[in-house]
Amino acid sequence: MDGAPSPAAFTAMTLNPPLIHITEQSHGVLIALMYAAKDNFTGRAIYDHPLCFLHPHAEACLRKAIAAARGFGLQLQILDAFRPQAAQEALWAVAPNPDYIADPKKGSNHTRGVAVDLTLIGADGQALDMGTPVDTMHPASHHFHAAHSSAIQLNRMKLLTIMLEAGFLHHPREWWHYQLPDAHQYPLVDGHVFMTCVATTGGHGLATA
């Protein structure tokens, strides 16, 4: 048919559409992006905004996870989602450890918009005890770490169950990290696409200092 996109172009449009803005109001989640504040392993803010974005495929799975968490009487708190390439480079500069930080030359699934870092909040408004803070680069952060108490293991299993049933896969070394299956089939999100998404929210890009 004249004017129809080629198979390659159709695939590109499907895998790399505009990112979806995730907000507390629109999605019923809590958002506390760790790289928009100084309280992270780098000791400085990497983002200059608290704006949260995901690829539409990941956002669709996130909605399923939000509903599942609600069924447990819990709420999701998002700690990181889409991450610009420049931010990935900044993290790698501080901790070039491929066990926990994706080499920016290869690209992070966060930069593809298909990975999300998150935890669970209880009915009392407090985060469930997961045994370690986020971004703890230590075996204690690995799923099923035997030294943790049964209560911590149960909390991690709740998050794991919610996310797996929603269509995500877990990262074996990071209890907080989940991503879409076949994440590497998704292209890295172009910086222009990201800045266009940010501009529509009235935000900015990366921290300048």
Q: Is the pLDDT of residue 33 over 80?
A: yes
> Cα(85)–Cα(75) distance, rounded to whole angstroms?
29
pTM metric for this prediction: 0.86
**What pLDDT score was predicted for residue 104?**
93
Domain boundaries of the chain, sorted by first residue: 7-201
Q: What's the average model confidence in pLDDT over 18-31?
A: 96
pLDDT digits (tens, 9 = 90+) for 139-156: 999 999 999 999 999 999
Q: What's the whole-number average pLDDT of the chain?
A: 88
> Cα(118)–Cα(135) distance, rounded to whole angstroms?
11
Do residues 99 and 44 lie in contact, with contact meaning Cβ atoms separated by under 8 Å? Answer: no
**What pLDDT score was predicted for residue 162?**
98
pLDDT digits (tens, 9 = 90+) for 86-128: 999 999 999 999 999 999 999 999 999 999 999 999 999 999 9
- Per cent of the chain over pLDDT 70 is 83
CATH 3.40.50.2000 is right for the domain spanning 7-201 = no
- Which is the catalytic residue, given 59, 89, 165, 174? 174
For 69, 97, 190, the CA distances from 89, given in Å and listed in that order, are 33, 12, 15
For 1, 77, 197, the CA distances from 201, given in Å and listed in that order, are 37, 20, 7
Active site residue 165: no
For 9, 13, 134, the CA distances from 2, given in Å and listed in that order, are 14, 18, 51
- Positive or negative, the CA dihedral 85, 105, 143, 131 is negative
**Chain centroid to CA 108: how far?**
11
pLDDT class of 5 with cuts at 50, 70, 90:
very low
Q: Is the pLDDT of residue 10 over 60?
A: no
The encoded tokens of residue 37 equal 């504040």
Angle between helices 56-71 and 150-166 (to 10 degrees): 130
